C-alpha cells in the first residue's frame, strides 16, 4: 500500500511556511525575536530532514583516516577531540590534515544551520 501522508520533512516545511505566512506577520514586536528563533529552528529541522545523514559517511571516513580507525561520525568526533587535546596533531603536516577535515565538518554543519553564511563564504572565496 502506498503511503500518501506527508512525511516529517513535509510536515516541518508546511509548519514553517504557515508560521512565516500567517503567524510571524502578526507577532507583537516584543515577541518578534522569539518568533524568529522558532522560524529558524524549523528551518534547521527542515534542512536536517532533507539532508538526512548523506554527508556523515564521508566525514566519518575523513575523521577515521586522521585517527586511524573506523566508526560512525558520532563515535569518532569525541575521539578526535581527545586526540587534539592529547597533542596528536601538533606537527605542521598533521595540522594541515586536521584543518581540512575540520573545515569539511564546519561546512556540513553550516549547510544545515546557516546555509546563507555558507553561500556567502563561497562568494568571498571567488573574489
Q: How many domains does the chain have?
A: 2
pLDDT digits (tens, 9 = 90+) for 7-31: 788 888 899 999 999 999 999 999 9
Please indicate, yes or no, whether residues 66 and 25 belong to a single structural domain of this protein. Answer: no
Same domain (yes/no): 70, 106: yes
Predicted confidence (pLDDT) per residue in 80-119, tens digit: 999 999 999 999 999 999 999 999 998 888 888 888 887 7
Residue 53 has a pLDDT of 64
In a domain, 82, yes or no: yes
Q: Is the pLDDT of residue 127 over 50?
A: no
Give CA separation, 73 vs 25, 49, 65, 70, 82, in Å: 40, 17, 12, 9, 14
Helix H or strand E encompassing 111: helix 92-113
If asked whether residues 60 and 121 sit together in one domain, one would say yes
Q: Is residue 92 situated within a structural domain?
A: yes
In a domain, 105, yes or no: yes
Q: Answer yes or no: do 68 and 47 share one domain.
A: no
43-48: average pLDDT: 84
Structural domain for 21, as ranges: 8-51
Residues 63 and 120 grouped into a single domain: yes
Please indicate whether residue 51 or residue 80 has the higher confidence score (pLDDT): 80
- φ and ψ at 121, to 5 degrees? -60, -40
User: 54 pLDDT band (50/70/90 cuts)?
Assistant: low
Shared domain check, 93 and 108: yes
The model carries a pTM of: 0.64
**69 and 122 belong to one structural domain:** yes
C-alpha cell at 31: 515577541
The helix/strand/coil state of 114 is coil
- Per-residue pLDDT tens digits for 56-74: 888 999 999 999 999 998 8
Amino acid at each position: 500500500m502506498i503511503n500518501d501522508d506527508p512525511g516529517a520533512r513535509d510536515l516541518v516545511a508546511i509548519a514553517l511556511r504557515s508560521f512565516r505566512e500567517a503567524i510571524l506577520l502578526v507577532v507583537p514586536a516584543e515577541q518578534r525575536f522569539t518568533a524568529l528563533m522558532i522560524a529558524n529552528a524549523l528551518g534547521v529541522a527542515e534542512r536536517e530532514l532533507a539532508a538526512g545523514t548523506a554527508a556523515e559517511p564521508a566525514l566519518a571516513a575523513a575523521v577515521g583516516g586522521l585517527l586511524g580507525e573506523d566508526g560512525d561520525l558520532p563515535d569518532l568526533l569525541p575521539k578526535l577531540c581527545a586526540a587534539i587535546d592529547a597533542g596528536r596533531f601538533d606537527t605542521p603536516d598533521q595540522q594541515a590534515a586536521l584543518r581540512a577535515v575540520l573545515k569539511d565538518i564546519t561546512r556540513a554543519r553550516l549547510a544545515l544551520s546557516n546555509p546563507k553564511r555558507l553561500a556567502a563564504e563561497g562568494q568571498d572565496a571567488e573574489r
